[in-house]
Structure 1
Amino acid sequence: MNLEQILENIAEQHLPLLEEHGFIPGGHNGPYYDKETPVRNTAHWSTIFAYLYQKTQRPDYLQAVISCADYLMSVPARPMQASFYCRTNINKDLSNGTIGQAWAIEGLVSAYKVTQQKAYLETAREVFLLHPFDERYNLWKVVNVDGSIRQFDMTFNHQLWFAASGAVLLAELDDLEIKRQCDLFFNALPSMLRIYNNGLIKHGVLNSVTFIDKLRNVFDWITYKRKSIKSGKDMRYKENGYHLFNLYAFALIKQFYGDIPLFNSDKFKKALSYCFSEQLHDSLENQDRSKDINKMPKVTTDQVNIYGYSYNGPGFELPYITKVFNNELGDNSVLISQVTKKQLEYTYNHEQKSLNIHTEDQATLEARFYEYVRYINTHSS
């Protein structure tokens, strides 16, 4: 049984769930155990149901898309008509930085494509433009659920995915301000993207304007390195789990926006090449979690990298990356086949027809099947 067939089986289980609740229940952000509202998973399933409707023309799939989008437009999803309410941890921002908003924007755009309901697109546009873009740093600030402004989201993949959601949005509407912001961000990427010598993308953003900022960055980096050496831990366990997630966002940008200056750089080519390296794929299966710099006390499953197959889903991400960047790559069909097969071996329960093995968060992992949907669409086009 291939991934597409499994997706359809899981979708059939989610139709009555959506009909019962009016949304797809949230998970808890995988190994982080931050309880999430239904926004993220409902947005992901909007993309899945949109694909299934386009494939089958079944009315129940169309209704599922509408139900997902209508939830995203509802008061519970945007209680103060500002950012989407994505997580419930009061010790963190309830909007889940810029990435929580990016996922919701994607879901609304997917719904618009099959329904042509402009209200979905306008809400996506409104939420994107709520986020202040600072041209000194070429970064977006986080907007709280009540509309108040926080500081920058300093996780690189969060900024990247927000820009990618802008690219997805711009493919459906003309908006000069969204395009201007995205252009500035894309033009800054050659200096903003940081990689190790092997091409692995670093997790944090280091962007500074003033001399004081530069000194603070240097101090923080020295402090981090000292702690890493002393503890024997560093970020690379996590960064390996997120590498394909980063490249997936770059693939979104290429498909929906086109080429950007970064794609011609040696730095990016190195990062792209690392997607197919033995080192990355060994780390996704065999790397020792004792080296993870994050403390994840609730995690019970660690047979594989907890940020990889059990959460980010390399079997969903690598096929799409390969398809979009096909002209820059050789034949990787054997590796793609191996990775999709491993995704099933590690996480799919054949008896229950669910992705509930070796994962901390079945609900979110199943919703992340939406990433594979884009591969199916580009593969068949």
Structure 2
Amino acid sequence: MESDSGTVTLYDIIERSARDGLDLQRDDGSFPPGRNYTYDEPETPVRTTSHWLQILTKAYEISGDEEFEDAANSAIDYLLSDNVRPSGFTYHCRNVESKDKCNGLVGQAVPIRALTRASEVFERADAKETAEEVFRLHPFSEELGLWERVEINGRTLSFDRTLNHQIIFAAAASELAPDVKVVKDRVEAFLDNLSTNMRLHSNGLIKHYVRPPLTDVVRSISRALRRRYDMLTNEIAFHYYSYSDERRKKERGYQTVNLNALSRLKPAFPNHEFWGCEKLSRSLGFVHNNEHDLIEGVDTKHGNLLQGISIAKIRRRLEDIPIAEQRQRIVTDLRVDADSVSELFDIDGVDENTQAALVSALTDLPDVEIR
């Protein structure tokens, strides 16, 4: 969509993409599933449908078009159906041999976030209730400030040791925090522990695994030895990978993933002391010092597909830089003249269903002229 003056804004792109998405939606309300681009593994429709729900929700807010409302409600109905939570517990996100079907915390964060936002716009109390229910299923350790994974059959697995998964889950849940005390309390406790759990290299690069104090880990393991034993092996893995060049390359890819998710937490907890801590300042410094290389592309399939857009969000929310001054960062990730939503992000090696759903990354930005 283009104005009479020939300008294109971010909201134009979202609305145009949502209109393309109407043709992709299936009879049951779902959208075609993508593949995990890092490992090229098949996924269920949960992630793509959740991302499209975010797109349709924002497009309806922009335009008021009832077609978007109807499609969004169909996507909500799908995400509330028995198909996606077959045992009534967590969302079924993938079928990959030797891996959990819930896709850790990150698999659950995506529908929690989409349902919470849509529930407010479309007055769907059932959507918010489901988001809260799935959040509550995940045991939280006050001692460590971390969540455990829960399989789709309800079985508690172990702590999700990947830092960005923990932050993304907390960020998704934070949108429930104003209305749900248990969410607010747990996410706040997560932030209380984050300056300890998050470890950095000397240059400010965030390490991939969480690392709570060893004494706290030992105390926690003594209470649930079998499922929490992974945190002891985590201590060994943490030191081993600290010296791995391949792991550092991976961590470079995830730097903006971590910081972007953190920036989404700040609006719900604006006065928390974490925002003034030295570790956050150093990790932002890494982005300052390496921004050009990050945007040009990190030589790894791990991490952020949209570095420029993520850096714009980080700068806006954590450093108060106006979005109007960040147009160029956003434009680096977009093909404004793309003929379809699947071509908007021209990313090698990423399937078209995953690429199309990436438009959801634009929905938490204010409008800005792109061309």
Q: Flag whether TM exceeds 0.5 (same fold).
A: yes
1:293 maps to which residue? none
Query: Is 1:190 paired with 2:195?
Result: yes
State yes or no: 1:344 paired with 2:334. Answer: yes
Partner of 2:359: 369
Question: Is it true that 1:244 corresponds to 2:256 in the alignment?
Answer: yes
CA separation in 2, counterparts of 1:366 and 1:374? 17
Cα deviation for residue 221 of structure 1 reads 4.0
- What does the per-residue CA deviation read over 1:282-339, in whole Å, with 9 as the maximum and x for residues that have no partner? 145355x4xxxxxxxxxxxxxxx5346xx53123322222222243x5x7966x3333
Aligned to 2:224: none
**In 1, Cα distance between equivalents of 2:151 and 2:89:** 7
Q: Deviations over 1:217-255 (max 9, x none)?
A: 5543444456x3xxxx42122212111111111111112
- TM-score, length-scaled by structure 1: 0.83
* Contact 2:266–2:317 under 8 Å retained in 1: yes
1:45: Cα distance to partner? 1.4
Distance 1:242 1:201, change over 3 A: same
Asked if 1:65 corresponds to 2:76, the answer is: no
Seen in structure 2, the aligned counterparts of structure 1 residues 272 and 13 have a Cα distance that, compared at 3 Å, is: same
Do the aligned partners of 1:94 and 1:144 also contact (CA within 8 Å) in 2?
yes
Q: Residues 349 and 307 from structure 1, CA distance in 2 versus in 1: closer, same or farther, beyond 3 angstroms?
A: farther
Aligned to 1:374, the other structure's residue is in SS state: coil
C-alpha deviation, 1:215, in angstroms:
7.5
Q: Which runs of 5+ in 2 are unaligned?
A: 1-7, 222-228
Partner residue of 1:150? 157
Q: Secondary structure of the residue that 1:150 maps to in structure 2? A: strand
Counterpart contact for 1:46–1:110, Cα < 8 Å: no
Corresponding residue for 1:133?
A: 140
Higher helix share: 1
Matched, 1:178 2:168: no
Identity of aligned residues (%): 30
Equivalent position to 1:317, from 305, 310, 313: 310
CA shift for structure 1 position 93? 0.7
The alignment partner of 1:31 has SS state of coil
Residue-by-residue CA offset, 1:267-293 (whole Å, 9 max, x unaligned): 11121233333x243145355x4xxxx
Q: 1:349 to 1:81 in 2, by over 3 A?
A: farther
Distance (Å, rounded) in 1 between the aligned partners of 2:324 and 2:205: 22
- 1:80 paired with 2:97, answer no
- The aligned amino acid for 2:25 is L
Local SS of the residue matching 1:141: strand
Task: Indicate if the aligned counterparts of 2:33 and 2:353 stay in contact, CA closer than 8 A.
Answer: yes
Give the aligned residue type for 1:275: V
In 2, distance between residues paired with 1:343 and 1:123?
33
* Unaligned residue ranges in structure 1 (runs of 5+): 290-304
Structure 2 counterpart of 1:306: 301
**Structure 2 matches for 1:1-381, cutoff 5 A?**
1=8, 3-171=10-178, 173=179, 175-207=180-212, 208=214, 209-210=216-217, 219-224=236-241, 228=244, 233-277=245-289, 279-285=290-296, 287=298, 289=299, 305-307=300-302, 312-327=305-320, 336-344=326-334, 350-353=338-341, 354=343, 355-376=345-366
Question: Against the structure 1 CA distance between its residues 378 and 184, is the aligned structure 2 distance closer, same or farther, given a 3 Å change threshold?
Answer: farther
Aligned AA (1:124) = A
Contact 1:190 1:262 (C-alpha < 8 Å) held by counterparts: yes
Deviation at residue 63 of structure 1 after TM alignment: 0.9
User: In 1, distance between residues paired with 2:181 and 2:95?
Assistant: 34
| Count of paired positions | 348
SS at match of 2:148: strand
Preserved CA contact (<8 Å) 1:112 1:120:
yes
Moved more, 17-26 or 262-271: 17-26
Measured in 2, the distance between the counterparts of 1:39 and 1:168 equals 19
* Distance apart, 1:376 and its partner CA: 2.0
Q: Deviations over 1:318-369 (max 9, x none)?
A: 2222222243x5x7966x3333222126xx7734552344242332233232
